[in-house]
């Protein structure tokens, strides 16, 4: 706990109640490599992504539920290795976490968008879209949360990212939804 507060990078991620936390405060070293599976994702700019197995199954369930409701969710990014996070960070230091501090390195996070009338709706526009609103409301039943809710930067350290979903399992996701700020930090009492 003390190490984590000091921001020391760990070879295995900081974990509370079996929930992995990776952030600027709780970093991992380049030797952390989660076990991953390949998930085929249809027509999303990327043909397949890598995630940890439970997150992969949950993503398929979430995308199928979205499709039933008329939303064609697509995945823009999932697992990112240390080198790819480093490249992403070099490219955009404002919206991207430095290597070691990104949840994408856990294989438990996805960036989503939606295709509507053949057009890709992403970023904040995704958050404002019907698909984004549906995702915010229904992600928890598949075990996902919108990890960085609006107006919670003080708690999460990250500005609003309606596209970034994090798999934490249905029970924890329900717990996060029940907290006043809808943040994982508050649910795990590490805020
Ligand atoms: Zn993301």
CA 22 to centroid of ligand 1, rounded, Å? 12
Residue 21 included in any domain: no
CA 107 to centroid of ligand 1, rounded, Å? 11
- The four Cα atoms 57, 139, 162, 22 give a dihedral, to 10 degrees, of -60
Cα–Cα dist 14/16, whole Å? 7
Residue 141 included in any domain: yes
Q: Of 185, 187, 111, whose CA–CA distance to 154 is shortest? A: 185
Contact call for residues 169 and 15 (beta carbons, < 8 A): no
H or E stretch covering 165: strand 164-167
Number of domains in the chain: 1
For 103, the 3-state DSSP assignment is helix
pLDDT tens for the chain, 191 residues long, are 444 445 689 999 999 999 999 999 999 999 999 999 999 886 666 788 999 999 999 999 999 999 999 999 999 999 999 999 999 999 988 888 999 999 999 999 999 999 999 999 999 999 999 999 999 999 999 999 999 999 999 999 999 999 999 999 999 999 999 999 999 999 999 98
CA 111 to centroid of ligand 1, rounded, Å? 5
Residue 173 included in any domain: yes
Q: Which sequence positions are flagged as catalytic?
A: 161
CB-count exposure of residue 99 (10 Å: 0-12, 13-18, 19+): buried
Residue 68 included in any domain: yes
Residue 14 included in any domain: no
Residue 181 included in any domain: yes
CA 168 to centroid of ligand 1, rounded, Å? 14
CA 11 to centroid of ligand 1, rounded, Å? 21
Residue 99 included in any domain: yes
Give the pLDDT confidence score for residue 3 in this predicted structure: 42
Residue 6 included in any domain: no
Give the CATH number, domain containing residue 97. Answer: 3.30.1380.10
Quote the domain boundaries for residue 78. Answer: 32-187
pTM for the predicted model, two decimal places: 0.93
């Amino acid at each position: 706990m003390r190490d984590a507060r000091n921001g020391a990078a760990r070879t295995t991620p900081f974990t509370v109640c079996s929930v992995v936390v990776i952030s600027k405060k709780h970093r991992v070293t380049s030797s952390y490599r989660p076990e991953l599976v390949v998930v085929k994702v249809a027509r999303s700019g990327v043909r397949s992504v890598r995630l940890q197995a439970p997150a992969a199954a949950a993503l398929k369930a979430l995308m199928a539920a979205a499709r039933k409701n008329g939303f064609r969710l697509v995945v823009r990014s999932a697992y990112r290795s240390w080198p790819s996070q480093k490249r992403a960070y070099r490219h955009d230091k404002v919206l991207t976490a430095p290597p070691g501090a990104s949840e994408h390195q856990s294989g438990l996070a996805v960036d989503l968008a939606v295709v509507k009338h053949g057009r890709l709706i992403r970023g904040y526009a995704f958050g404002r879209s019907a698909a984004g609103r549906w995702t915010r409301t229904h992600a928890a039943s598949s075990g996902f949360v919108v990890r960085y809710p609006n107006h919670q930067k003080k708690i999460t350290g990250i500005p609003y990212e309606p596209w970034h979903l994090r798999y934490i399992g249905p029970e924890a996701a329900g717990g996060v939804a029940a907290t006043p700020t809808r943040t994982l930090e508050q649910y795990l009492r590490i805020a």
